[in-house]
Structure 1
Amino acid sequence: MSDTPNYGFDTLQIHAGARPDPATGARQTPIYQTTAYVFRDADHAAALFNLQEVGYIYSRLTNPTVAVLQERIATLEGGVGAVCCSSGHAAQIMALFPLMGPGRNVVASTRLYGGTVTQFSQTIKRFGWSAKFVDTDDLEAVKAAIDENTRAVFCESIANPGGYVTDIRALADLADAAGIPLIVDNTSATPYLCRPIEQGATLVVHSTTKYLTGNGTVTGGCIVDSGRFDWSANDKFPSLSAPEPAYHGLKFHETFGSLAYTFHGIAIGLRDLGMTMNPQAAHYTLMGIETLSLRMQRHVENAQKVAAWLEADPRVDYVTYAGLPSSPYYDRVQKCYPKGAGALFTFAVKGGYEACVKLVNALEIFSHVANLGDARSLIIHSASTTHRQLSPEQQEAAGAGPNVVRVSIGIEDAADIIADLDQALAKATA
C-alpha cells in the first residue's frame, strides 16, 4: 500500500507493511520459513554485510515475514522503525542494550510486571547495569532518582497487574530535560488505546504475545523507535554516536539518522544477542493485529461492566480498574486514554490469600494462566505466581498483595463472565 498518513487505524492494522507476494501474487503475507537468502553476487553480499544496502542475509537478523510485522507495528505506533524479537522480556533487554553499559542505571516504575521487576532488579546486574525503582506518580522522586549514570526512564502505559495508567507526557518531559529516552511498555494498552510516541516517548516495547496476537498461540516482542531522539547530543550513548569497531568505525546515528536505533537493534542486537522472532510467530501475530481494534473495543466494554459489578459486590474489598469513576486515575484516563482503560486490573477478595486460591480454583470460564491479553478471560493470583520472587514490600508496591487477584477480561459474553465470578466468589468466601 502507498505510504500515507491519511489511512485510519482499522485500515492500517490490516494493510500496513503488507504487499502481494511478488513471486506468486499471494494476498496474505507468506511464512518465509528459511534460514538464509541467496546473494545476487559477491558485491551484493559485501554491501549487505557492510550495511551499505538493505536486504536479507540470515533469519537471525532479518526475515520477510517478520519485516512485515515490524513495519505494521511501527506504523500503528507512529514510529519510524521497529525490531521484533522472541519475547517481551527479550524486547526489554534489547531496548536497553544500545543505551546501557557497566555502572549505568535505568529509573523504572515500581508498577511493573513482576517478571520485569525481577529482570531489572536481579538479572541486569550481571551486565553491570542497575535499576532504581520509583513511584512514577511522584514526579519529584523520578527527577531526584535521575543521575549522571541514568540512561533511560522505563514505565508501562497501563501497568500490570493493577491496570494503573501512567502520565506519559509528564515522564517524557523529565526524561527530555535529562537528555535521556523514555521507554514505555505499551503491551496492556496497545496502540489502539494509547500511542506513547505521541505523548513524548522515545521508545515503545511490546510483548506481542499478549493483545497484539490476542489468541495465546505464540510468544514475541517488539521495540519501536520514534526516530526523534538525538543520540549525538551528548556522549551518553556511544553505541549509537561513536564509531562501531565491528563495522569499520561506522557511526550509526551519523549514518542512519532517525533510523539509527532500529538499524543498531538488527545489526548489533539481533546479531549478537540472537533473540530472534521466528516467521511463524510473526505470521500468527499479523493475523491477530488484523482484528486488534475490534477486540480491544470488546475487551474494554466487558472490563468496564465486570469492574463495576465487582466494585458493588460486598465480597470484594476494592477494584483497581482505572476506568471506574471511583479510581484516582479516572480523570487521567479521560485525558490520555480516551478509548478506554484496557481490560487488565486487580481486585481484592475478602478472606485474603486463602480466599483468592479458592476463587481461582472455582472459576469455570476463566483460565488460570500466567498470561494476559487473550480473547479468553484469564485470572492469576500474582502473589503466589508471577510476583512470587518479590518481597512482600515489592508485591504491595506492584499492586500484587496476597489478597489480590489479577484478571484479564476477555471478549466472551459479559453476563457469562460475571456469572462465573459470582459463583466462584460464593465458594471462595463461604
Structure 2
Amino acid sequence: MVRQYFGTDGIRGRVNQKPMTAETALRLAIAAARTFAPDGNGTVIIGRDTRRSGDMIEAALVAGLTSMGLTPCLAGIVPTPAVAMTTRLTGARFGLMVSASHNKYADNGIKLFSPEGLKFDDATEETLEAAMAGAFEGAYVAPEAIASPQRMAGVGDDYVRTCLATMGTADRIKGMKVVIDCAHGAGFDVALEALQQCGADVTVIGAAPDGININAGCGSTDTTALKAAVLARKADVGLALDGDADRVIVVDETGAEIDGDQVMALIARELHESGRLKGGGMVSTVMSNMGLDRYLRSCGLTLARTRVGDRYVGEHMRAHGFNFGGEPSGHIILSDVSTTGDGLLAGLHVLSVLAGSGQKMSELGHVFEPAPQELVNIRYSGANPMENAAVLEAITAAEAMMGEDGRMVVRKSGTEPLIRVMAEALEAGLMRRALEHVVAAVKAAS
C-alpha cells in the first residue's frame, strides 16, 4: 500500500501543505474514532508542543472527535512521553500528540498512541490510512451525542513525579550544575521543574517559546548555545531536548557532545550492573555504531538492531523481553517507566549515574572505542533516489568493498526529503571510500 499520510513517526510535514493540513487532522480524528472507538464513547488525550500551528491542528482534531461522540481531554503543552503515559494511566481510547518533534516551526505533525501508550504498528497505520480516505462519507453521532472537549490539568506535574520516582531519591543530584536546553519546545516547563525538585543548580535556556522559535538554533539539533552555556557556567553537564522532549543529547563539562551510542552504553551498563537490565542486552537501530555491539558482547550482552524509528525499537523490545533500547539520535526508551522515547527520563538517568560515579561527564561518557563512522544527509527533489538503478549499484559495490569489516546503511528519511547515507568500518580509509562512492551516486540522482 502506498502511504499518503504516515511516515516514520506518525504524520508530519509542512503546515498547510499535504499531508499536514487541518483537513488531514479532521480526517484522522474521524477515522481513528471509528476504528478504535466505534461505540462512540470514551476519552482521547491530546497534547501539543509550542509551535504556532498547534492550535489549528488541535482544533481540527477536537472537531473530528467530538463529532463522533468522543471527549477530547486537552493536556496543553506537554512532552510526547507525557501524552503516552497519561493515555495509558487514564484508560483513554487513544492518545494524540501534535508535534513535528525536532523539525522547525513551519512543520507540524501528529503522533498516535494506543490505550497502552504505544505507537501503532505499520498494519494499524495502513488501516487508518484506508479509513481516512472515506472519513467524510460515513455517519456521525446524533446531535445529542456530540461531545465537548475538556481541559486536563496536572498532566505535566504527574509526568514529572513519575520521572523523579525512578531516581530513588530526588536529592541524588542535589547541587550538581546542570544546563538544560528545552528547544523552546514542549519540555520548557516540566524539565526545569524536575531539575529544581532534585535540588540541581540548574540553568535553563531555550525556554521562551513564541510559536516560531522552536528548534531554532537550539535543542537537540543545534547544541551550540548549550555548549557555550555549559562552559560559561562551568557546569558539570548539559542536556538538550528536542521540540517534543522525546529525545536528549548530552554535553560534557568541556563542551563536547557525547555520542548517543555512548549514552546508551552508559545506561545499559548501569542497568546491567544493578541487576535491572532485562532481555540479556538492549535494542537499537541499524544506525548504531559497531563499537557498541562489540562493547556489549564484551559484557556478555547482546545488541538487537531494528529499522530506524523508536517505535520499531519499542516493538522489538516488547516482543523479545527487553526493557531498554533507543537510537543514537537521542530517543531512549526505559520501558519499565515509559513506553516511548523520553528525553527527560533518560537525561535524569544520566545525571543519576554521573552523581554516583565520582567521575566527570567527559570520563563517564567514553564507554567504548567507536568504529569510524560518518553520516551524510543529501536533500533531493523529484523522484526518490533510492529507486535509481545507479544508486542501488553503488550501494552494492560499497558493501562488497567493505565486506565484514564495515556496514553501509542508506535510507530515505521518513520525515524530510533527505537520503541518509551512513558508512562505518574498522578502518577509516575504507569507510571514507565506501561513503564517497555512494554519496556521489545519490547526489547525481538527486
Query: What is the TM-score of this pair, normalised by structure 2?
Result: 0.29
Higher strand residue share? 2
Higher relative contact order (CA 8 A, sep 6+): 1
